Structure 1
Amino acid sequence: MREVSDKSSDCAPLRDSIDDVSEFAPSHPRSILAIEGPSLSGKTTLIARILAAHTQVFHFGCYVEALGASPIPPFDPGSTAGQVEAFLVFAQVEAERSAKLALLDPAYSVLFDRSIDSLLAHAYALDKLRRYDSLPRVRDLAAQLPVSVPDATFFLDAAPSLLRSRLETRMGALPPMFIDDEFVAAFKEFFELDMQLSPSVTFIDAASVEDVIPLLMTDFLLK
Structure 2
Amino acid sequence: MILGIEGVSCVGKTTLAAQLAPHLDRPVVIPCYYHASPDPTRLPAPEPFTAEHQLANIAEFLDVEDLRLTLAGQALAEGRDVILDRTVDTLLAHAHAVGRMNGFDCDAQARHLVTGRPVAMPDLTIVLTADPDVLARRARLRKGMPTIFYDRHFSEHFNAYLAHPLAPAVALLDATDGSLDDLTAQALGHVHRHQAAQHRPSPHPLKEAS
Q: Please give the residue correspondences for 1:186-197 in structure 2 after superposition, counting only pairs within 5 Å.
A: 186-192=157-163, 194=164, 196-197=165-166
Amino acid across the alignment from 1:77: P
Q: Please give the residue correspondences for 1:171-190 in structure 2 after superposition, counting only pairs within 5 Å.
A: 171-190=142-161
Whether 1:136 and 2:108 are equivalent positions in the alignment is: yes
Q: Distance in 2 between matches of 1:68 and 1:153?
A: 25
Report the Cα offset of residue 102 of structure 1. 2.5
Whether 1:114 and 2:86 are equivalent positions in the alignment is: yes
Whether 1:215 and 2:156 are equivalent positions in the alignment is: no
- Bigger drift between 45-54 and 110-119 goes to 45-54
Q: Distance in 2 between matches of 1:209 and 1:187?
A: 24
Amino acid across the alignment from 2:89: D
Whether 1:198 and 2:170 are equivalent positions in the alignment is: no
Q: 1:160 aligns with which of 117, 132, 144?
A: 132
In structure 2, relative to structure 1, the CA distance for the partners of 1:205 and 1:42 (3 Å cut) is same
TM-score normalised to structure 2 length: 0.82
Amino acid across the alignment from 1:65: H
Whether 1:61 and 2:31 are equivalent positions in the alignment is: yes
Report the Cα offset of residue 97 of structure 1. 2.1
Whether 1:124 and 2:107 are equivalent positions in the alignment is: no
Match of 2:68 in 1: 97
Q: Could you tell me whether the CA contact under 8 Å between 2:25 and 2:81 is conserved in 1? A: no
Q: Distance in 2 between matches of 1:171 and 1:184?
A: 17
Q: Distance in 2 between matches of 1:156 and 1:183?
A: 15
Q: Distance in 2 between matches of 1:92 and 1:217?
A: 30
Q: Which has the higher helix share?
A: 2
Structure 1 stretches of 5 or more lacking a match?
Answer: 1-30
TM-score normalised to structure 1 length: 0.78
Q: 1:42 aligns with which of 12, 32, 36?
A: 12
Amino acid across the alignment from 2:174: D
Q: Distance in 2 between matches of 1:209 and 1:149?
A: 29
Structure 2 stretches of 5 or more lacking a match?
Answer: 196-210
Amino acid across the alignment from 1:212: D
Q: Distance in 1 between matches of 2:18 and 2:138?
A: 18
Q: Distance in 1 between matches of 2:142 and 2:98?
A: 26
Q: Distance in 2 between matches of 1:36 and 1:203?
A: 9
Q: Could you tell me whether the CA contact under 8 Å between 1:40 and 1:166 is conserved in 2? A: yes
Report the Cα offset of residue 55 of structure 1. 6.1
Report the Cα offset of residue 79 of structure 1. 0.9
Q: Could you tell me whether the CA contact under 8 Å between 1:46 and 1:209 is conserved in 2? A: no
Q: Distance in 2 between matches of 1:113 and 1:102?
A: 16
- Aligned identity (percent) is 29
Counterpart of 1:103 in 2: which secondary structure?
helix
